[in-house]
A and B are shown apart, each in its own frame.
Chain A
Amino acid sequence: MTGADSLLGGSLLSAAQLSRAGLVEVFDVAEAFAEVSRRAMPKVPTLRGKLVATLFFEESTRTRLSFETAARRLSADVASLGVASSSVKKGESLRDTAATVEALGADVLIVRHRSSGAPAQVANWLQHAKVINAGDGSHEHPSQALLDAFTVRAALCEARGQVSEGSGASVFEGLRVLIVGDVRHSRVARSQVISYRTLGARITLCAPGTLLPRDADEWGVDVAERLDDALGEADVVSVLRLQTERGSGSHLPSLAEYTATHGLTERRAELLKPGAVITHPGPMTRGVEIASSVADGPKALVTRQVANGVAVRMAILFLVLGGEPSLLQGAP
């Protein structure tokens, strides 16, 4: 994996685009914007006059809300086109919809689509506007993986008494990340595997055989057969949502059996190391992939992920739209 050292001025389609330096740049810019988010007036004029368009061809509230909040905090104008919009219902093609939104003057299109690769195709079709992949089919969800890693860096630095800003990728060196659940259908898992590996972590996947991706051994990861055996080794546990809308339901005998074999239950959470942390991209199905008490417990970073999501997406928008990181020095 040899990605670029900066996201500056490019589209964000895959986590594989970014090198370790490129990822760390996003994290450091996000730290600055996290500070903005904590202000009484959490808004900066950075992207004033820019038009950010969200094109969500698949239902989503969390990611869309997060991106739109990020754009507004940067003072960008926001235009939204949803799956229920009239043009899509009337049968307009993705290509025509994207061209129309670009013609309206959008500087960046944030695209979520049920088809893997759709944001990459949109990026090819457009003349000037940039594209941010907000989740494509079972392919990737790079902004989610970036905010997960950012949150993990902040939490682990805090636990070690370090300042996370400027800490680079040091906390990821040799870090053991365990990804549990529907890896086969998960776009979050693909982006996580790529970005955590780029940062220097070691990845283990654990899933029922039907939910493991084909040829997972070629992903440069380990595969654990039993969750109980893998938990004690992990520094980070990434619990995935069961993607029943993408067919994982037919891959399992029952949700109860899934919980029994791969759910992060209270008993299993006790197998974790004291300093281990848990992430979940949301929305959680409590009682299925994660027990309520675990989700609300001290190891879970779920609410911090959501808060950090806005800061990381502010950083992504800022960089994609060509903002120089040096502009941020003391600025916002």
Chain B
Amino acid sequence: MSERTIIFKGGLVAGARAVTRADVLVADGVIAEVAPDLAAPHGAAVLDASGCVVGPGLVDLHTHVREPGDEEAETIESASRAAALGGYTAIVAMPNTEPPCDSASVVADVLARGRSASCEVAVAGAITVGRGGRALAPMAEMAELGVTLFTDDGACVHDGDVMRRALEYTKGLSVTCAQHCEDPVLAAGGVMHEGRWSSMLGLRGQPTLAETSIVARDLGLVALTGASLHFLHLSAPESVRLVAAARDRGLPVTCEVAPHHLTLDDSQCVSYDPRFKVNPPLRPTALVKELIELLRAGAIDAVATDHAPHASERKDLPFDEASPGMLGLQHALGLTVEALGGTETLDLLVLFDLLSRHPAAIAQLRGADERRAGHSPHGGDVAVGEAANLCAIDLESPTVVTDASIVSRSKNSPYVGRTLPVTVRHTLLRGVPTVLDGAAVR
């Protein structure tokens, strides 16, 4: 056995179809054996997995790595460390960097910087040049580098004709467009959800209609073009219902929600603490409850973080001037378990579907792709021959979020002080530990 032999002992295994009690042997980056009570081979590193479930490494569809352009807020390296501590083995970097990922050269640069990171870094390309919403970006050229997801995230492709052409163009490239649904006219510069709280706090609100109207329009465009479309960070239950109904009719659409829309509501804005400012905004309790119900009912494909680090000088501002967004990678797993109802009744297959298997499928990270040099398959089965992108989640140890535990370069988490129901114990990237006993190791 080589020194890259690792064995998870004493835990549960969340496979593609069933949860079993088994040990997992990993050798040379690949799963070598999955069976109960395996004997540790000589020289193997034994990882205690008691109380844990071992499953596929998590995959985030929605990370703002801030590199290039805003390395004070976050870097690929720091984001990937936060990701590994959160149980992730792959993230999709959003293109709203400076310069934006709207050309092959910037995409190649970010991919290259990601090769030494603590998780694999896929890149989403921009749909339009400069994310300006007008001229189509060279998506075929970016697709050649292995880009499978295109979005102007941070901005909505608001012009219906541009969005239609983007869908028609990407259909022939075997890639997927992803939309940030926000009609800027209806949102009207709103800095929080429009309702009772915005009205009392004197803050400009944006109605859920700013989101749902774009969802409805784009579902129509999918029907018109036949192209696939992914809906980013849906915050309104009505948006999810529209997508789910279209999916049931056979349209090639998927959607994600962010953990904060499942665990925080707009009443938090009463403190005027800009850590609670995010776009789309936090919604009222009643809508949060509906969104949780839809998550539990299987209407939502994936939970994605919308990890959005901001340096303190962008958050230590009046609420309406502060940048929107909050950290997500380190705590999304615990928050998702919370939204699903806690560890007692947790369906582990559903958990890994939402956080690993479905996002991997949406970003086309499940198979090997020769265009993506150095990348391995994610979101697979925990079975012999699969790439050893794995995480072990301790279901019996809660985590208390502290300022000091945040490894992002920015600290804008609204969850400091909150207790999350689980802890990430170990993470393996291609068979090599990135997290051991809850600590980052590379």
Chain A residues in the interface with B (C-beta under 8 A): 93-95, 113, 115-118, 120-121, 125, 136-140, 187, 190, 213-216, 218-219
Contacts and interface: CB of A to CB of B under 8 A. Distances in A.
Interface string B174-206: 000000000000000000001110111111010
Given A93-B313, A215-B195, A118 B318 contact: yes
A158 to B, nearest CB: 34
Residues of A contacting B: mostly: mixed
Contacts of B201: 116-117, 139
B149 to A, nearest CB: 36
Contacts of B313: 93
The 10 closest A-B pairs by CB, nearest first: A117-B272, A115-B318, A139-B202, A138-B202, A116-B202, A213-B199, A215-B196, A118-B318, A214-B199, A218-B196
B319 interface: yes
Given A125-B316, A139-B203, A190-B202, 20 more contacts: A94-B318, A95-B317, A115-B318, A115-B319, A116-B201, A116-B318, A117-B272, A121-B273, A121-B318, A121-B319, A136-B202, A137-B202, A137-B203, A138-B203, A190-B200, A213-B199, A214-B198, A214-B199, A215-B196, A215-B199
Query: Which residue of A95, A190, A215 has the most chain B CB atoms within 10 A of its CB atom?
Result: A215
Nearest to B269: A117
B11 to A, nearest CB: 44
Given A93-B313, A214-B205, A117 B198 contact: no
16 contacts: A93-B313, A93-B317, A94-B318, A95-B317, A113-B318, A115-B319, A115-B321, A118-B318, A121-B272, A137-B202, A137-B320, A138-B203, A139-B203, A213-B199, A215-B196, A219-B200
Contacts of A113: 318
A117 B199 contact: no
B421 to A, nearest CB: 30
Contacts of A94: 317-318
Interface in B318-332: 318-321
Contacts of A190: 200, 202
A194 to B, nearest CB: 9
Contact of A216 (B198, B199, B318): B199
A2 to B, nearest CB: 15
B176 to A, nearest CB: 36
Contact of B320 (A115, A125, A218): A115
Interface in B279-318: 313, 316-318
Nearest to A215: B196
B203 A214 contact: no
Given A138-B202, A213-B199, A116 B319 contact: yes
A95 B316 contact: yes
B271 to A, nearest CB: 8
A118 B320 CA distance: 9
B195 A214 contact: yes
A121 B319 CA distance: 9
Contacts of A138: 202-203
A201 to B, nearest CB: 18
B316 A93 contact: yes
Contacts, number: 62
A3 to B, nearest CB: 15
A133 to B, nearest CB: 11
A187 B202 contact: yes
Contacts of B202: 116-117, 136-140, 187, 190
A136 B198 CA distance: 14
Interface string B143-177: 00000000000000000000000000000000000
Nearest to A137: B202
A76 to B, nearest CB: 27
A218 B320 CA distance: 23
A120 B273 CA distance: 9
Contacts of A116: 201-203, 272, 318-320
Nearest to B188: A247
A125 B272 CA distance: 12
Contacts of A136: 202
Contacts of A121: 272-273, 318-319
Contacts of B195: 214-215
Contacts of B317: 93-95
Contacts of B205: 214
A223 to B, nearest CB: 13
A260 to B, nearest CB: 27
Contacts of A95: 316-317
Contacts of A118: 272, 318
B319 A117 contact: yes
B110 to A, nearest CB: 31
A257 B316 CA distance: 42
Nearest to B271: A120
B318 A117 contact: yes
Contacts of A219: 199-200
A59 B15 CA distance: 64
Contacts of A120: 271-272
A113 B321 CA distance: 12
B200 A117 contact: no
A219 B200 CA distance: 8
A94 B320 CA distance: 13
Query: Which residue of B199, B205, B318 has the most chain A CB atoms within 10 A of its CB atom?
Result: B318
Nearest to A118: B318
A95 B313 CA distance: 10
Query: Which residue of A94, A116, A136, A140 has the most chain B CB atoms within 10 A of its CB atom?
Result: A116
Contacts of B196: 214-215, 218
A215 B196 CA distance: 5
Nearest to B203: A116
A30 to B, nearest CB: 26
Contacts of B199: 213-216, 218-219
Nearest to A184: B199
A94 B271 CA distance: 17
A279 to B, nearest CB: 20
B14 to A, nearest CB: 43
Contacts of B198: 214
A214 B318 contact: no
Contacts of A139: 201-203
A16 to B, nearest CB: 9
A115 B321 CA distance: 8
